[in-house]
Structure 1
Amino acid sequence: MFGWLKNYMPRGIYARAALILVMPIVFLQLLVSVVFIQRHFDGVTRLMTSAMNIELRFLIDTANAAETADAALLAVRQLGDPLEIETELPADQVLDADIKPFEDLTGSMVIETLREGVPSLITVSLADRRRVLLWAETRHGPMEISFRRQRVSASNPHQLLVIMVVLGGIMTAVAYFFLRNQLRPIKRMARAATDYGKGRITPFTPTGAVEVRAAGTAFLDMRNRLERQAQSRTMMLSGVSHDLRSPLTRMRLGLSMIDEKEAAPLLRDVDDMERLLNAFLDFARSDAGNVAEKVRPSEIADLVLADALRMDQDVTLLPMQGPDDPVSMRPLAVRRALDNLIGNALRYGTKAQIGISVTDRAVRFTVEDNGPGIPPDRYEEALSPFVRLDPARNQDKGSGVGLGLSIVADIARSHGGVLRLGESASLGGLKAELVLAK
């Protein structure tokens, strides 16, 4: 029902906290101002103006009782001096309409009460905040009457409203200061979680309220548990690889002592087993890698290109898009990922291209080839470990266990990014995009 409000709500937690603080205060001030203050000042103004109407009617009746205009002026001035009312009869000029400033909150009540209590009233002017000026009809012509504004209305409610707004602002600022101290641990925990998703370990100590501390402690426990699991996987596969290398070495040594033709098939089996072990070890180490550091994306691409050219591979580097500023990443892991993508491209094709694109939020490495590609409906399957897409990629051109793209995807996820597959527009084969969050 109120889903449309989400488009207008602030995104940040500080802005939402400020909105939660400000809205009740503003609503309360409006309620008090309109319902209580204004009604109270209207009532007081009506009582004070009603009392003033008695004096005004007496002055007008006195002027009407005099025989001449001079006698009327003398009589009303004799009464007006002790009452602190100034009069002029006949008046020099009379306004055609009442004057009430827009910001005068009690002016309407003053004019309304004066007209109810003084039937001969002509017009009223409240242009001067300190005095009330009005004109009344008498038998000797219009009479101008002036008296202090304080006699018909209480002190201007603007002062009270200003005090309420100022105090409300001060209390909001104080409340926001204390609330910010409660929100700061949540921001730090969110930053630590974001950095961990990008492969960086940020020091974090749970602080704040009990619930926030509990969430921070749970996050630390989860992060430590994931780190232990990654280390255990790496150590386990490393140990298995180390333990199997010795028997394989002995088998290779034993095969070298028999007839070469008879030993050839067995030697190929031993080579395949060694490649399998290396693939398992690379997969285990894909999210361990080296420590993150500031590196220019072009430096990593240049190193990968130099290795490919040294091996006489047909690999080219496209012009870089975006600024070549240092970016925090694990250079050895990213280089391993690009090596896997290039090896995968050249295994099924004859040519590969490397592209780099840098934006404010991510670094994108692309590797394209001219091979047969992968059907779009099998992109997700191709990123799964131990999957070999025989119909799409000719396995006669290379051997493997289906871990190449999985290793690259793990490295991308450890940098807070993703590995995307698509079709190369320039070469017609597979296009792999390694996206790393900055």
Structure 2
Amino acid sequence: MLPKKKKRPFFLKRYLPKSLLGRSLIIIITPLLLVQAISVWVFYDRHYETVTKRLAQGIAGDIATSILLLQEAETPFDKANIFQLMQKTAGLSLTLHQGIELPPVNWEPGWSVLERRLDQAIHDQLLKNLNENYRYDIDTTSLVDQVKIQIELENAVLLVLVPSKRLFTSTTYLVILWMVGSSVITFGVAVIFMRNQVRPIQRLARAAESFGKGRDVKGFKPEGATEVRQASGAFIRMRSRIKRQVEHRMAMLAGVSHDLRTPLTRMKLQLAMSGQSEETKDLQTDVAEMEKMIEGYLAFARGEGHEQTASCNVSALMKTLMQQLSFNNNPIDLHIEQEINIQLRQENFKRAISNLVTNAQRYGSHVMVCVRKKSKDADELLEITIDDDGPGIPEEHRKDVLKPFFRLEQSRNQATGGVGLGLSIANDIISNHGGDLSLEDAPGGGLRARISLPF
């Protein structure tokens, strides 16, 4: 059977924001930009083009009128009066250059809307009013505040300088400014409202994360939209159920502990009063083993108890704990890179570390413990590694040994082991702190237990 091909992720996913606020803003801004693009196109097609066309027709009409008047003028004085009249009434600066011609290459309009509209208007006006197809040239770029138009007449070239303000209207910029400004204001209001909608979700996420790390969540209450309130209410009910289950388990274990310890104590007392014999020695060994097993079961079922989290100096705690666990024939090398403070259930955490270190001492002759701060995916983690030089654990059994009551009969001697709860208790405590316990090969051989705890 051929392996299934992995679906390639949509290429836009890598560029999309990961946060709910970012994605919500994308949902808002995308149609907003689309509407703006359509509005600009409609404005350009209907308003700007139309206004430019009307202004160009007005200029072309004034130029055609000027040419008609110049053709009827008989003296230079008449022409000067015409120039003065057009300057006052139309704002056009006219100059007539006798005896010259325009370049032989015909002028063609570019991509500019103004050039295209002026070209069309002048061409139409010259044909309509003068019945002439004069050659002309339009220059919209060489002068700052004027547009230069040259028209070739009979034995002369008429130079017309048109003020730019006659070809541009301020309403164009006002409309564009209004469109952009209204969009920015709308987007700003949307950002404010979306932040207010996302804030309750962020509070819920922080509360769930804190509860997952075993920390008490105080003052949390449902807020925001109906759906967010429903999710918050479900979280509060779930938290209450979990707390009730833990309290019920603790109450039940207190009774079980009393019921089991009482007959065991009575049996130990009766054996002590029976004298020493081979039979009583075997029974005492069995009773001690039973007591050890019961203690292990109760320790596993007891879990984290009611201990509250508090700020803890991990460096100082590890130094004290390693001194307590070290002995001459099985020393512990402790390496601490820096002082680290983190929120912990201190007694539970010491219990987990003790289980792991004791396990390493049982199967190895040398134990090395390293404490460091590590960054992963922009998160700060407390990392503790515990290495031994023992036989290690096969890779296929590393997840199994973290389960309750699982023992490796071949690689770990049953006579020297417990009841298969040490690693599972440590894993349970680390998980209740929101961390992770993994087993892997130590660099020098043996087993490495790696603890990762979020700050």
The two structures have a TM-score, normalised by structure 1, of 0.89
Q: What residue is the counterpart of 1:227 in the other structure?
A: 243
1:100 & 1:405 partners in 2: Cα distance? 84
Q: What residue is the counterpart of 2:421 in the other structure?
A: 403
1:244 & 1:34 partners in 2: Cα distance? 85
Task: Report matched runs for 1:38-437 at 5 Å.
Answer: 38-66=45-73, 71-90=78-97, 106-117=113-124, 118=126, 119-125=134-140, 131-155=146-170, 157-203=172-218, 204-261=220-277, 262-288=279-305, 290-309=307-326, 312=328, 314-321=330-337, 323-360=338-375, 361-398=380-417, 400-426=418-444, 428-437=445-454
RMSD over aligned CA atoms reads 2.9
CA contact (8 A) 2:268 2:284 kept: yes
Question: Structure 1 387/34 Cα, relative in aligned 2: closer, same or farther at 3 Å?
Answer: same
Q: What amino acid does structure 2 have at the position aligned with 1:42? A: E
CA contact (8 A) 1:341 1:405 kept: yes
Higher mean C-alpha displacement, 59-68 vs 43-52:
59-68
CA contact (8 A) 2:151 2:159 kept: yes
**What SS class does the counterpart of residue 260 from structure 1 fall into?**
coil
Q: What amino acid does structure 2 have at the position aligned with 1:373? A: G
- CA deviations 1:255-281 (Å, max 9, x no partner) are 111131221111112111211221122
Q: What amino acid does structure 1 have at the position aligned with 2:400? A: E
CA contact (8 A) 1:73 1:88 kept: no
Question: Structure 1 115/407 Cα, relative in aligned 2: closer, same or farther at 3 Å?
Answer: farther
CA contact (8 A) 1:64 1:138 kept: no
Say how many residue pairs are matched: 432
2:189 & 2:414 partners in 1: Cα distance? 69
Shift of 1:144: 2.1
Question: Structure 1 193/121 Cα, relative in aligned 2: closer, same or farther at 3 Å?
Answer: same
CA contact (8 A) 2:115 2:140 kept: no
Q: What amino acid does structure 2 have at the position aligned with 1:216? A: S
Q: What amino acid does structure 1 have at the position aligned with 2:318? A: A
**What SS class does the counterpart of residue 373 from structure 1 fall into?**
coil
Unaligned runs of 5+ in 1: none
Shift of 1:429: 1.6
1:434 & 1:37 partners in 2: Cα distance? 64
CA contact (8 A) 1:68 1:140 kept: no
**What SS class does the counterpart of residue 138 from structure 2 fall into?**
strand
**What SS class does the counterpart of residue 123 from structure 1 fall into?**
strand
Q: What amino acid does structure 2 have at the position aligned with 1:387? A: F
Question: Structure 1 366/194 Cα, relative in aligned 2: closer, same or farther at 3 Å?
Answer: same
Shift of 1:190: 0.4
Question: Structure 1 40/212 Cα, relative in aligned 2: closer, same or farther at 3 Å?
Answer: same
Higher mean C-alpha displacement, 225-234 vs 252-261:
225-234
CA contact (8 A) 2:402 2:423 kept: yes
Question: Structure 1 184/407 Cα, relative in aligned 2: closer, same or farther at 3 Å?
Answer: same
